[in-house]
Amino acid sequence: MDGVINVYKPLNITSFDVVRKIKKITNIKKIGHTGTLDPMACGVLPICIGKATKIVDYLMQDYKIYRADLELGKVTDTYDLEGTILEQNEVNVSGEDVKKVINKFIGEIEQIPPMYSALKMNGKRLYELARQGIEVERKGRNITIFDINIIEINLPLVKFDVKCSKGTYIRSLCYDIGKELGCGGTMAGLERLSTGFFTKENSIHLENLTEENIKDYLITIDNALQSYEKVLFGKKHEKLLMNGVEIKDKAILENIPDEALLRVYIEDKFIGLGTKNNFSFKMVKLLV
């Protein structure tokens, strides 16, 4: 069984718990997820099975959409409600103040990851250091907030949807919004609505998956990569591409965009991902 299941992860379990359950259902060991969701977060978590584990990194590159609940006036060490409360402040801001500050975060910004995160520093995960009471300086990372749509403001609570790039911490975004408003803030809830074309609407709840129905929800590897454009080659190029030989036929290459990662087909057979560069085309990832 090779492909991707668009799983909806419930609250209060880890992403690894989801992987473990899929392993049990399928009796397949080679399974991976496409981006961790914290236990207090629910939502879309595509799971790669078998050969599809080879495309985890490519699926993770896509944008994400989250629905976040922000509680102003409260600051915790984890930037969410699971942590220890460090500050409890009055919220003396208006709804307009909130809108103005939130909109400042749209665009490419530098974000400092939270201490309670799985990022590694000197071989140790940050959350391991944080649990020992050790706080280390973290380097800011460039991330992109493509859009923020405020759903509701009922102070001290704010609900909003955010479309963002890979590597964005919504907990840090909530913390930074609260800091900018001068009253502090923490993430009170999080739901991932989509990751690329995998959406909440076309997901299957983890609890509804069984040995009998799991194949019904299996998305083929090439369909899972549908955000990448398709390029077709003839049968005569199959052996060359499969052996890693570069194609330099100008007549074939003239209509292929430069430097874009593309799904490669030999007639109607999907073989992997490839790219054109410097007047030649070559495979980047064979998936057969």
226-239 core/surface letters (b: 16 or more CB in 10 A; e: else): eebeebebeeebee
Q: Which of 135, 142, 190 is nearest to 9 (CA)?
A: 190
Rounded to an integer, what distance in angstroms lies between the CA atom of residue 85 and that of residue 166? 28
Q: Is 203 left (phi over 0), alpha (psi -120 to 50) or beta?
A: beta
Half-sphere exposure of 128 (CA within 13 A, CB side): 8
* Residue 38: active-site member: yes
**How many residues make up the chain in this entry?**
288
Distances (CA, A) of 288 to 48, 54, 57, 244: 15, 11, 17, 13
Cross-strand bridge partners of residue 70: 158, 187
List the catalytic residue out of 38, 62, 69, 80: 38
**Single-letter amino acid, residue 19:** V
Rounded to an integer, what distance in angstroms lies between the CA atom of residue 147 and that of residue 176? 16
Please name the residue that has the structure tokens 């359950």.
21
Rounded to an integer, what distance in angstroms lies between the CA atom of residue 9 and that of residue 46? 9
Residues carrying an active site annotation? 38
